[in-house]
Structure 1
């Protein structure tokens, strides 16, 4: 572990990364571990699938809203202080969510906790990339970003499995009896966040230079409200349908209008709140979009598959999580492999191979039945996650390498803003598709009384049809990613 200096103080880069990875693990678990717990939330709060998925979409919404602010915060607040603020917010958010009473009237408290956690994670994700880019030379960043990929990729992937295992256990914590309860899924993130918060003052260092940057409040308003309205509109699709004017179409178009004004203002400012000019660099934009497609493909199936396994296949939360375990493990293995291969073969080759594998692993999902063996689902999911790991982090590293060091904070914020917006949209999109197909194909209540077995069979078919369309959309992301990866600059990165 090599010691380096900043501000005349010696520190260890590896330990700094370890602290960030610990905290990121908690944030990433908060982001995706609810996938397996969605059916439990539906039962506990007496809500439908669309409402339950708001726990994810609202998280992604506020996560995306916070990311543009991260560039300003990274340049204005010392690295150690900013990390402590983010970790404290995450701890509070997890605790609020975990403490929500079980009734439909308290669902908003659960969402508030998710929002607080999302605000913290919206700071943590870009800061981790900014810190790594400031600590490591260009030739070292591939391995460092590969290590980060273990957290950004593997932990969200392992979240559903870990959540399913936790839901099967009995716990007592601060007076709560957590027997087969959704609350238990927050135990590990809470403890991990607490550990990171305690370690930060001792191991974190102010590696990102700070400067007095004036906050453009108008830009902050435009970005927050613009992205917020846009994502809120997509969040409402599952509950209200695409044709709903006040809850879906108005916020989406209003959000787009404010985002356009925001972008126009950034192009005019000498010191922009978010330097959108980074997208004028083709070598940054194309890999960023390709990496985002990989993330969307991961979220698309990752959020839908546990619900399919429990609602269609009838598996328990633990068994559905266990089915996805190999995918999580392969995600970690191939994240490390792609990091090691980055300097040897380049992002383009890794991206094209990764998306090809992703497509091959996704296509069979279009033919799932209520009787498909879980071992086949597990293998296919593992193939998908291996492909995503090979494509996602190399593309992010390639994108950031195209920018000068002075632009890394803005490039990171821009990349993560698009990523979170895209993730919010894909979760809302797929949830609405599944919910709408189910609603449109639900048999009459009369059949439920007169022919209960036939009613149950038709409901099962309706759910399965909805999931198949969601998987088809995810396959589309893989195909589009493969095509765009072809246009990534092909020069191999120098060792």
Structure 2
């Protein structure tokens, strides 16, 4: 059967003002499920160690490999999304995710489970840029903030909710139940999507540059892997891998600049010529680093220092995650009405206040105070992410939407890995020095966490500075639609 029969050509999409197009609702739901899966394994590690007879370091690879695959595949999606229809991209993304999930349920060994996670991550890597690119094409500019607020639910709340969801599911059965619960939900969403999804753009012809594919995968994948090695590994080896990753990314960038002259780059870097996009990119990356750092440190503090269970920890941080998700659409509507600055600047200040508050963690800090600080951080991130994504992508020409989405999504993965490596390294180094000075293990761990939170608070100053530099609205259409040469 020809692809023409499978994928009817795109037709002009003219959504009614004030309504979220059905295609976006479907893609948001699908993206939420696949991204939720990224962090769903965290609480299952003790079970996996017993069931599969593996060490903790080996079990961590189920999360690390997912992140590595995302970092390696996402840079390719900018090119991919310009070459296939919306339905074809959705079919590939959800098909890979379903295949990986089904394989994980029956995985007899760790190696098979690891392969299943890599297949899942390949599908997830396509979904994120697909959602962002489709949104920018089908949603009128005056409604983008409101609709992007729903997207915030998928890309920001899902990873935060993963540990909580898994903590609840694991109360009822083995680690396989994590995938068994997800599979029918993802299958239903896939079926509904294929039944209702329409193509919103016509594919372009173009050959792929395999040298770019290899250098993108090796560079970004190597960088994320090197950063992940800082946790419990040889720092010199990790630094060498990071350096090799950065050099390979440099080769990739040079190659793209060369290909841009012929109009066929794998990842079009002309998006970075647009100041608002670049500022939004920096702000998003630093905010993600701060968010992921706190997501790792807070559960460690609550469980290792304060002695809470994984479920109790999940319940304590759940209000913040829910607040972030529920506020997304409201923040979007406020953005459409008032612009970005009235949300982004207070949001950035809120992030700085929350992370500064976490530097005061102690053996006796009241739980209500921890909950309040986490809620403030979550609400502030909600006020920040929606306007930043909307302003950033709104500042680039429409033919670069897929590339802009890919760059944003790639940098999220790199920022998450960098934030994790930074806080773990700082915390471990400080804790080790305190132990050598005769401090007890618990107090040494607490001291390490306090210093790591200080690093997060320092990063939040950059978030505030970039927030001030962002405009209230994206540049005028006539300015951004001009072709970049």
Change (3 A) 1:392 1:163: same
Change (3 A) 1:125 1:376: same
Match of 2:232, SS state, is helix
Aligned position for 1:398:
391
Task: State yes or no: 1:129 paired with 2:126.
Answer: no
Match of 1:240, SS state, is coil
Q: Deviations over 1:387-425 (max 9, x none)?
A: 001011210110111111111111111121112111122
Structure 1 contact 35–307 (Cα < 8 Å) conserved: no
Structure 1 contact 295–392 (Cα < 8 Å) conserved: no
Task: State yes or no: 1:7 paired with 2:11.
Answer: yes
Q: Deviations over 1:229-267 (max 9, x none)?
A: 2222112111323223xxx23322221111111111111
Aligned position for 1:409:
402
Task: State yes or no: 1:252 paired with 2:256.
Answer: no
Match of 2:21, SS state, is helix
Aligned position for 1:261:
251
Distance of 2:450 and 2:60 partners within structure 1? 18
Aligned equivalent of 1:466, options 434, 445, 448: 448
For residues 22-37 of structure 1, the aligned pairs below 5 Å read 22-37=29-44
Deviation at 1:217, TM superposition (A): 0.9
Larger deviation, residues 368-377 vs 262-271: 368-377
Q: Deviations over 1:209-232 (max 9, x none)?
A: 201121111111111111122222
Structure 1 contact 233–252 (Cα < 8 Å) conserved: yes
For residues 176-325 of structure 1, the aligned pairs below 5 Å read 178=173, 181-244=174-237, 248-269=238-259, 270=262, 271-325=264-318
Aligned equivalent of 1:55, options 57, 62, 65: 62
Aligned equivalent of 1:359, options 323, 333, 352: 352
Aligned position for 1:72:
79
Distance of 1:377 and 1:20 partners within structure 2? 34
Structure 2 contact 94–190 (Cα < 8 Å) conserved: yes
Change (3 A) 1:72 1:337: same
Where do 5+ consecutive residues of structure 2 fail to align? 1-8, 477-485
Aligned position for 1:154:
157
Structure 1 contact 286–488 (Cα < 8 Å) conserved: yes
Structure 1 contact 96–113 (Cα < 8 Å) conserved: yes
Deviation at 1:37, TM superposition (A): 4.2
Structure 1 contact 126–412 (Cα < 8 Å) conserved: yes
Aligned position for 2:340:
347
Aligned equivalent of 1:479, options 456, 461, 474: 461
Larger deviation, residues 230-239 vs 40-49: 40-49
Distance of 2:287 and 2:377 partners within structure 1? 10
Return the TM-score normalized by structure 1.
0.86
Change (3 A) 1:398 1:334: same
Q: Deviations over 1:149-181 (max 9, x none)?
A: 12222222222322222222x2xxxxxxx2xx4
Change (3 A) 1:268 1:8: closer
Structure 1 contact 279–285 (Cα < 8 Å) conserved: yes
Aligned position for 2:423:
430
Deviation at 1:8, TM superposition (A): 7.6
Larger deviation, residues 484-493 vs 317-326: 484-493
Aligned position for 2:411:
418
Change (3 A) 1:145 1:372: same
Task: State yes or no: 1:376 paired with 2:376.
Answer: no
Distance of 1:441 and 1:45 partners within structure 2? 35
Distance of 1:122 and 1:151 partners within structure 2? 13
Structure 1 contact 67–123 (Cα < 8 Å) conserved: yes
Structure 2 contact 11–201 (Cα < 8 Å) conserved: no
The count of aligned residue pairs is 462
Aligned equivalent of 1:140, options 133, 140, 143: 143
Q: Deviations over 1:333-387 (max 9, x none)?
A: 3222210111233223321111111111122212222333322222211110000
Deviation at 1:472, TM superposition (A): 2.2
Aligned equivalent of 1:488, options 454, 465, 470: 470
Distance of 2:378 and 2:102 partners within structure 1? 30
Match of 1:243, SS state, is helix
Change (3 A) 1:323 1:60: same
Change (3 A) 1:308 1:85: same
Return the TM-score normalized by structure 2.
0.87
Where do 5+ consecutive residues of structure 1 fail to align? 171-177, 445-454
Distance of 1:142 and 1:275 partners within structure 2? 25
